[in-house]
Structure 1
């Protein structure tokens, strides 16, 4: 029997009152709340190795976040039938663990992922977002043209250097591969952007949305967001869209036999 077992946790949260995912001294974070709840169940000395698919910024929400932890096998044997229910009692009401699944040791929530998918919601109605959706929907004062938004999005799909849309980190690449970027208008009138890539730089999605919104409301030509890809530094002309309109909705993974290979490939790419 293995001494430890790796667990995949599927997590959702309302990011409004969190200072992002990552633990920060003196601040309320999703990882901090989850670590505290697990510590109360498993003992504070348990080496969890909490690893997340995507470190969301302050105010960003998630319905499809994924992380993994390692616990002792005897703890899993004891808690398997009740862990989800016990976590529900210990987690704050704005964060939920929706599923707990044993996975091979080769699974890495961050490096085994093949894609992250986000949605960004914008209300361009004269009255703004509905009150019950005010924490996950941006109110936009100008009418938006979905055809213009999609025309701007088209040029941003593919593998590019997104330096113009990223907060650069030392020794980190800003090259990413966006496999999906499109807009739709839902029956309730809300404009929703869906963006999917292998990974994202810090604030990249919100910067892309900010650039496209300037096209959608007619302030910029359709070609402008795509032309910015020629830059090799952050563009001061791009406004970063507010965090609360953004939600991480899904993280994709390969077949179980490919976890390790995918993780190795991703680590080499990031290096």
Structure 2
């Protein structure tokens, strides 16, 4: 789960560690990670923080979401000079609202323990994927975060298939490989529920690899449409390469809704365990 291009930050030298809660509509954004000549959450947010705090800012995030993916419960941390934080602590959220674009918000910023690491300290990440299979499509006011599906879905079959995927597995069949990154994950929760014409897929894991949630949803959609039996998604787990027959569901239906962390006294131990690459 450790990517070599994102080392852990180390507090000290008069710095204070800040924890940020972040929300965004990913429709017009090219994912979390900063990219040249592209709008990204990290790029816009770091620029806003640097404007307000008047110091360099580099964020470490809990989950690097893809282009088009949304968040209501994203978490990041950064280390800034104590004097910069003290000068803005009571008005930082309000001032960020004034300089951030309308599709990014920071509902909360607070001082965190030195051992807090938004990425490596996380216990669980929770996502929700929203689909509407009504003939009329998704509700107009939810069109940004709900995918309209053209065929009616068998939610009971999808839920049965989801349960067979739980546990620790090598999810290579459902991941886009990244150099030096493992595809072994512990899927702690995967469920499918219907509320009228709205279908929600909820996914929770210690971490997710690149495109994993959208690929899992794609496999479940094949079951929901009756094109594959409920046993098919779990039957792909022995594969060592991505399964080309698995649809990657559209990004717009996916939202990172929460990230869980241990108590402060256990933060350092959790980060150490997470950084140790799994075999």
> TM (normalized to structure 1)?
0.96
Match of 2:46 in 1: 35
Residue number in structure 2 paired with 1:12 = 23
The alpha carbon displacement at 1:270 in A equals 5.5
The answer on whether the counterparts of 1:157 and 1:177 sit within 8 Å (CA) in structure 2 is yes
- Whether 1:227 aligns to 2:242 is no
What is the aligned partner in structure 1 of residue 122 from structure 2? 113
Distance 2:79 2:242 in 1: 38
Match of 1:73 in 2: 82
Q: Contact conserved, 1:68 with 1:108, CA < 8 A, in 2?
A: yes
Alpha-carbon deviations, 1:99-143, whole Å to 9, x = none?
001111110000000011000001011111111111111111111
Range with greater deviation from structure 2 (155-164 or 1-10): 1-10
2:29–2:41 CA contact under 8 A, matched in 1: yes
What corresponds to 2:93 in structure 1?
A: 84
Q: Which runs of 5+ in 1 are unaligned?
A: none
2:139 to 119, 130, 139: 130
Q: Could you tell me whether the CA contact under 8 Å between 2:53 and 2:88 is conserved in 1?
A: no
Q: Quick one: distance in 1 between partners of 2:187 and 2:262?
A: 18
- Verify the 8 A CA contact 1:149 1:215 in the aligned structure 2: yes
Whether the aligned pair in 2 keeps the contact of 1:172 and 1:270 (CA below 8 Å) is no
The runs of 5 or more residues in structure 2 that have no matched partner are: 1-11
Superposition deviation, residue 184 in structure 1: 1.0
Partner of 1:199: 207
Using structure 2 for the length normalisation, give the TM-score.
Answer: 0.94
Residue in 2 aligned with 1:155?
164
Deviation at 1:230, TM superposition (A): 1.4
CA distance in 2, matches of 1:102, 1:219: 50
Q: Aligned partners of 2:53 and 2:201: how far apart in 1? A: 40
Provide, for residues 231-259 of structure 1, a one-character-per-residue CA deviation record: whole Å limited to 9, x for no partner: 11110110100000000000000000111
How many residue pairs get aligned? The number is 268
Go from structure 1 to structure 2 and tell me whether the alpha carbon gap of 1:270 and 1:8 turns closer, same or farther (over 3 Å shift).
farther
3-state SS of 2:236 partner: helix
Alignment map for 1:166-205 (pairs within 5 Å): 166-186=175-195, 188-205=196-213
Looking at structure 1, the residues matched to 90 and 178 of structure 2 have their Cα atoms a distance apart, in angstroms, of: 43
Query: CA 1:270–1:56 in structure 2 vs 1: closer, same or farther (change >3 Å)?
Result: farther
Deviations 1:35-62 (A, max 9, x none): 110111122xx34231000000000000
Partner deviation per Cα, 1:167-189 (whole Å, 9 max, x = no partner):
11223211100000001112x52
1:249 matched to 2:257? The reply is yes
Matched, 1:265 2:279: no
Please list every run of at least 4 consecutive aligned residues from structure 1 whose deviation after the TM superposition is greater than 2 angstroms.
Answer: 46-49
| Secondary structure of residue in 1 paired with 2:193 | strand
RMSD after superposition: 1.3
Q: Distance in 2 between matches of 1:2 and 1:83?
A: 22
Structure 1 residues 147-181: Cα deviation after superposition (integer angstroms, max 9, x where no partner): 10101101111000101001112232111000000
Q: In 1, Cα distance between the equivalents of 2:34 and 2:199?
A: 32
